[in-house]
Amino acid sequence: MSNTDLLTLALVVITAFYAWATLKILRANEAMVSTMRDQQNAAMRPYITVSANIRTGTQLFYLSIKNVGKTAALVLRFISSHTYSLSREFQMLIEDAITPILVNNNTHVCVFMKLPT
């Protein structure tokens, strides 16, 4: 082997190393971009908080629905996680009350005159 052949072999090895290192960097950047995209989606989604209060001495029931997220909540559904079932009239009242679109930091308060039985 001549010196030219050895230098060519050395350049091939160095180029292969650079190609391997570049591929590793590409995969790391793709993973980082995916993670950043997931974090941005989580930060930009609507977050809905619901609080319920009973006014003392009355039969008024306040249901406060607030969007504390950064984007509007376009579709809201009321799903009860309790073991008891809500009456159909009460559930319809709630669904009608949360129909408006909730933009960030807006609160929608529903007042019900009677607690469900």
pTM of the predicted model, to two decimals? 0.49
Instruction: Count CA atoms closer than 13 A to 71's CA, side-chain side.
Output: 9
Helix (H, G, I), strand (E, B) or coil at 78: coil
**Segment 100-110, tens digit of pLDDT:** 545 556 565 55
Tokens of 43: 């930060």
CA–CA gap between residue 52 and residue 74 (Å, rounded): 22
Backbone angles phi, psi at 88, to 5 degrees: -65, -35
Kindly state the DSSP code that residue 86 receives in the 8-state scheme: P
Categorize the per-residue pLDDT at 88 as very low, low, confident or very high, splitting at 50, 70 and 90: low
What average pLDDT is seen over the chain?
76
